[in-house]
Amino acid sequence: DGGITQSPKYLFRKEGQNVTLSCEQNLNHDAMYWYRQDPGQGLRLIYYSQIVNDFQKGDIAEGYSVSREKKESFPLTVTSAQKNPTAFYLCASSAGRINQPQHFGDGTRLSIL
């Protein structure tokens, strides 16, 4: 089955640690995205990539980093510079062509110990 896989589903981080969230897709989509969801809020865009080896900052990129070395993979690193990392993180992908919806993985919930 084609889809987007995020792992792990739950992740705990100690203060001062970097942590990397995995996102893999087998939909052959060009574009991939990372969002953050906080309680009572919509999805806010962290980073996005329209093509391999290229990515752009979204609205809340500070304290995060990404890479896009392969078409199917778009890992997100939450660095120690992110002051409030506890949130639900969602990865999405789309064909990247006009009027193509984004499809989402099931998310990773990150908590600070």
- 19 touches 13 (CB < 8 A): yes
DSSP assignment of 13-57? E-TT--EEEEEEE-S--SEEEEEEE-TT--EEEEEEEEETTEEEE
Strands 54-57 and 76-78: unpaired
- Mark residues 57-76: x for contact with another protein by CB under 8 A, - for none: -x------------------
Residue closest to 63 by CA, chosen among 8, 13, 104: 13
As measured in angstroms, the least distance from the Cβ of 38 to another protein is: 10
* Residue 99 interacts with another protein (CB under 8 A): yes or no: yes
Nearer to another protein, 59 or 81 (CB): 59
Nearer to another protein, 7 or 56 (CB): 56
Judged by CB under 8 A, the chain residues 8 through 37 that form the site for another protein are 31, 33, 35
Which chain residues interact with another protein by CB under 8 A?
Answer: 4, 6, 31, 33, 35, 40-45, 48, 50, 56, 58, 90, 92, 94, 96, 98-99, 101-107, 109
